[in-house]
Amino acid sequence: MQLTLKIWRQAPGNGQGKFENYNVVANEHMSFLEMLDVLNQDLIESGKDPVAFEHDCREGICGTCSMVINGRPHGPLQGTTVCQLHMRFFKDGDTITIEPWRAASFPIVKDLVVDRSSFDRIIQVGGYISVNTGQAPDGNAIPVERGEASKSMDAAACIGCGACVAACPNASAMLFVSAKVSHLALLPQGEVEDDKRVTAMVNQMDKEGFGNCSNVGACEAECPKEISIANIARLNRQYLRASLSGE
């Protein structure tokens, strides 16, 4: 299939970026990233600068393949990362617009690559359990109610890709933060530090410059792991409780 790619190109630093058009020949069996590999090979052979984009596992696990395709984070399919998007979902002659996450807290490094270290700093202030575990405990030593364990596992599925931020008109990171808070808070091992954790992570989120949640729901719709916005409600309740307790 013959495709026209309208790709955002931006040099490192704070320079002005712009869209540039490229023609590429792909087949329906390629993944989206493989199609970009073909484009880059053509650019390299022509002596031109290849398009910078992030990737790692290419199995929908790591979350690094972050880009907006035709106006939607990770592309047109629900519950799918870019690396798991295949060209059979596009048609011969299509024009595909590709751009990076658009958020002040995710500054562009180059082309489609953004700096998401703000997420790392949010995790560093509270996304852990600070206890001396010693030897590995017996799996049944601490009973966990099945429903709560399932909710915790659903929240833990978040891969921290940032699609929620890219989809939100306020560039809010509430879905990401709430997932990281919830997956620990729902387990007995995480309850001890609940108030401290939620306060530290929300304060760091605000410090990083992310916007406020206004219940648009775009974050849940575009999340490749379909994380529920019910986690945001849980985070808000925990943050209010922590505020009232003086944490």
The mean per-residue pLDDT over the stretch 95-117 comes to 97
> Which one, of 134, 119, 3, 126, lies nearest residue 63 by Cα?
119
pLDDT of 138 higher than 80: no
Q: Are residues 85 and 123 in the same domain?
A: no
Are 27 and 140 in a shared domain? Answer: no
- Domain final residue, candidates 109, 142, 159: 109
Residue-number span of the structural domain to which 188 is assigned: 116-245
pLDDT at 177 over 90: yes
Range in 11-20, 68-77, 232-241 the model is least confident about: 11-20
Number of domains in the chain: 2
Average pLDDT over residues 27-53: 97
- Mean of all residue pLDDT scores within the chain: 94
In 3-state terms, what secondary structure has residue 48?
coil
Tell me the residue type at 1: M
- My answer on whether 91 and 8 are in the same domain is yes
Asked if pLDDT for residue 15 goes beyond 90, the answer is: no
Residue 108: how many CB atoms within 10 A of its CB?
23
Contacts 24+ apart (CB under 8 A), 185-188: 185/234, 185/238, 186/148, 186/149, 186/151, 186/152, 186/155, 187/144, 187/148, 187/149, 187/152, 188/142, 188/144
The torsion angles phi and psi of 2, rounded to 5 degrees, stand at -95, 125
Specify the length of the chain in residues.
247
Mean per-residue pLDDT, 236-245: 92
CA dist 213 and 197 (Å) reads 19
The domain that contains 195 carries what CATH number? 1.10.1060.10
91 shares a domain with 38: yes
240 and 140 assigned to the same domain: yes
Query: Which CATH number belongs to the domain containing residue 84 in this structure?
Result: 3.10.20.30
How buried is residue 172: exposed, middle or buried, by Cβ count under 10 Å (0-12/13-18/19+)?
A: buried
pLDDT digits (tens, 9 = 90+) for 58-100: 999 999 999 999 999 999 999 999 999 999 999 999 999 999 9
pTM (predicted TM-score): 0.93
Last residue of a domain, one of 109, 136, 151: 109
Residue 229 has pLDDT above 90, yes or no: yes
Q: What is the pLDDT of residue 139?
A: 67
